[in-house]
A = this chain, B = another copy of it.
Amino acid sequence: MIDNANKKILNILQKNARTTNADIARQIGKAPSAILERIRKLEANGVIQGYEARVAPLAAGLGLTSFTLVSVEEEVGSTSTGELLASIPGVLEVHYCAGQDSYLVKIRVQDTERLAEMLAKIGRIPTVKNTKSTIVLRTVKESSNLPIDEE
């Protein structure tokens, strides 16, 4: 179960995944060994899915973000087109959306030329009918941190 101590741990790790167990222990008033045990269980239970460094996209040469709606014709419940999309480098997120037979795909590429190549690649997938892209001009906020209310 996720008691209040675990909520505190999750919030600390969401803010800075490299916080040491000793540091967390100090913040929530327990021994480091207790924190280690809790974090291991949270990982084993799938509550903590991983720890990601957030890299500046521009520094990685990826200056263009696009959200692309990919319309598909596939069997209901099938996940294969989505997984194919997910495997393309530069495709960061793939979400299947209600009421549109389509995937919403978050893409990061170098420039419009690379986006064109990617859209061509996606368009070549047999189950894909068409795509509709929206270019991001400015990203105001971007985080995976969930609001977890402590008691």
Contacts and interface: CB of A to CB of B under 8 A. Distances in A.
A95 B65 CA distance: 9
Nearest to A65: B95
Interface in A124-144: 134-144
A71 interface: no
Nearest to A103: B140
Contact of A56 (B49, B65, B93): B49
Contact of A140 (B54, B57, B96): B96
A57 B144 CA distance: 10
Contacts of A95: 65, 67, 136, 138-140, 142
A17 B14 contact: no
A116 interface: no
A29 interface: no
Interface residues of A, number: 61
A45 B91 CA distance: 26
Nearest to A95: B136
Contacts of A135: 97-99
A90 B147 contact: yes
Contacts of A56: 46-49
27 contacts: A2-B60, A10-B53, A13-B53, A15-B50, A17-B52, A18-B51, A47-B59, A48-B54, A48-B56, A50-B53, A52-B54, A52-B143, A52-B145, A55-B146, A86-B141, A92-B141, A92-B142, A92-B143, A93-B143, A94-B139, A94-B141, A96-B139, A97-B134, A97-B137, A98-B134, A104-B134, A144-B144
